[in-house]
Amino acid sequence: MASSEELHKRRGAAVARGVGSVIPAYVDRAGGGTLTDVDGREWIDFAAGIAVTNVGNSAPRVVEAVRAQVERFTHTCFMVAPYESYVAVCEQLNALTPGGFEKRSALFNSGAEAVENAVKIARHATGRPAVVVFDHAYHGRTNLTMALTAKNMPYKHRFGPFAGEIYRVPMSYPLRDGGLPGGEAAARATELVEKQVGAENVAALLIEPIQGEGGFVVPAPGFLPALREWATAAGVVFVADEIQTGFCRTGDWFACQHEGVEPDLVTLAKGIAGGLPLAAVTGRAELMDAVHVGGLGGTYGGNPLACAAALASIETMHELDLAAAARRIETAMVPRLQAIAERTGVIAEVRGRGAMLAVEIVQPGTLTPDPATTAAVSAACHAAGLLTLTCGTYGNVLRFLPPLVISAGELRRGLDILEAAFRG
């Protein structure tokens, strides 16, 4: 087998430079809470492929379900010749997502595609053009979703012009807005919409209940419920982007549930199918069914292998109670992260929910972001065998997204490495 170094050289001559990687090691196998490269080096996994392998890599039920499906048929295209597993995934999503009302779902390939379709559905159902999004938001890299995403570098730089009718308003970011109460932060956002856009022109308000790439920003309590209330009154479709927060990641099935918020539409991807590419829009039947027959779809959306994996993943989440596992991870990690914060003085805030946790790194005694220290700590983790990711508008947030099946021992070893990395 080629070594990681050899593969990295081959990559340089074959793979486009614009596709980056966090570590230059090439994976041979992964499972539980670890990844092993082709040279036999092991990393504790605090990334889960960016919040995807919630049930673990090659989770036994997923492997079995995909193996059985690949022998029966691999693809027919649901729009050509439909099959049961697509219907069964939609039934599961309709039942699992918040809201007791009648729902429908449609399946796609990627998170960005789900977000694009949520916007299509909201525009079609309301007959309105505008979409409201937030500072620090991340919704994808396609043309429409780049416009919805806040951060220029690396996501948007020189890729414009972007789609129109997108309006950005301030997020509730307690560390950086002086701890503005949730209701006031929501009023600040909706007043801007009313003055500058006009609520009657707004099809959808799109929000991550906890922001992902933007820095694991947890809004102040009351922010999401106040936005929900405003959207209802204004006839605006409330879309929760649960692509990173979904499927037990935050200690409940979906992050909206922590504040009892029922979105009109939810976008789903990542953790849905144990690593196979699948995404969905789930929501109120009257909105979803407003679209004419043939108006939604795509060749691979709801591919049978991905649907088999999703059904097996959802079963695994129920059987292993992975929402409780995420809460246990939070209980184990937060005190250790707080101890690091107290000892080093470079962490302004430990935040997040469940197994979606982060530290925001600053120059001591200030709120000035320190992306250099963030990158150095992350690099030290990688060198010592812990896979971590950074994020945030200012590049100064170190985030932790372990698979929810990580063992207590692996979690402890990962935290030991992290602690040592902060010592430098």
- Can you tell me which of 30, 112, 231, 404 binds ligand PLP, judged by CB under 6 A? 112
Rule CB under 6 A: say whether 252 interacts with ligand PLP. Answer: no
Rounded distance between C-alpha atoms, residue 414 and residue 419, angstroms: 9
Rule CB under 6 A: say whether 244 interacts with ligand PLP. Answer: yes
Question: Shortest Cβ distance from residue 86 to ligand PLP (Å)?
Answer: 19
Question: Shortest Cβ distance from residue 365 to ligand PLP (Å)?
Answer: 32
Are 212 and 391 in contact, with CB atoms under 8 Å apart?
yes
377 residue type, one letter? V
Residue with Cβ nearer ligand PLP (253 or 422): 253
Are 189 and 236 in contact, with CB atoms under 8 Å apart?
no
Residue with Cβ nearer ligand PLP (360 or 370): 360
Rule CB under 6 A: say whether 216 interacts with ligand PLP. Answer: no
Rounded distance between C-alpha atoms, residue 278 and residue 269, angstroms: 6
Are 121 and 129 in contact, with CB atoms under 8 Å apart?
no
Q: Which stretch binds ligand PLP (CB under 6 A): 27-35, 104-112, 256-264, 405-413?
A: 104-112
Residue with Cβ nearer ligand PLP (112 or 411): 112
Rule CB under 6 A: say whether 43 interacts with ligand PLP. Answer: no
Residue with Cβ nearer ligand PLP (34 or 244): 244
Question: Shortest Cβ distance from residue 115 to ligand PLP (Å)?
Answer: 6
CA dist 99 → 95, 192, 259, 362 (Å):
9, 28, 13, 39
Residue with Cβ nearer ligand PLP (166 or 269): 269
Rule CB under 6 A: say whether 278 interacts with ligand PLP. Answer: no
Residue with Cβ nearer ligand PLP (52 or 322): 52
Question: Shortest Cβ distance from residue 74 to ligand PLP (Å)?
Answer: 21
CA dist 301 → 23, 62, 314 (Å):
30, 19, 18
Rule CB under 6 A: say whether 111 interacts with ligand PLP. Answer: yes
Residue with Cβ nearer ligand PLP (50 or 291): 50
Rule CB under 6 A: say whether 110 interacts with ligand PLP. Answer: yes
Q: Say if strands 237-241 and 202-207 run parallel, antiparallel, or are unpaired.
A: parallel
Q: Say if strands 130-134 and 356-361 run parallel, antiparallel, or are unpaired.
A: unpaired
Number of residues that bind ligand PLP (CB under 6 A): 15
Rule CB under 6 A: say whether 310 interacts with ligand PLP. Answer: no
- Can you tell me which of 138, 230, 253, 300 binds ligand PLP, judged by CB under 6 A? 138
Structure tokens given for 374 = 């963030």
Give, as one character, the DSSP assignment of residue 362. Answer: B
24 residue type, one letter? P
CA dist 91 → 69, 88, 102, 253, 398 (Å):
19, 5, 11, 15, 36
Rule CB under 6 A: say whether 208 interacts with ligand PLP. Answer: yes
Residue with Cβ nearer ligand PLP (210 or 405): 210
| H or E segment and range at residue 12 | helix 4-14
Report residue 237: phi and psi, to 5°. -75, 120
Nearby residues of 392 by Cβ (< 8 Å), 6 or more positions away = 136, 214, 215, 216, 360, 369
Give, as one character, the DSSP assignment of residue 162. Answer: P
Rule CB under 6 A: say whether 390 interacts with ligand PLP. Answer: no
Q: Which stretch binds ligand PLP (CB under 6 A): 61-69, 78-86, 136-144, 374-382?
A: 136-144
Rule CB under 6 A: say whether 135 interacts with ligand PLP. Answer: no
Residue with Cβ nearer ligand PLP (199 or 256): 256
Rule CB under 6 A: say whether 376 interacts with ligand PLP. Answer: no
Dump the DSSP string for 262-293: --SEEEE-GGGGTTS--EEEEEEHHHHTTSPT
Instruction: Compute the CA torsion angle 41, 47, 50, 54 (nearest 10 deg).
Output: 100
Rule CB under 6 A: say whether 115 interacts with ligand PLP. Answer: yes
Interacting residues with ligand PLP (CB under 6 A): 50, 110-112, 115, 138-140, 208, 212-213, 241, 243-244, 269
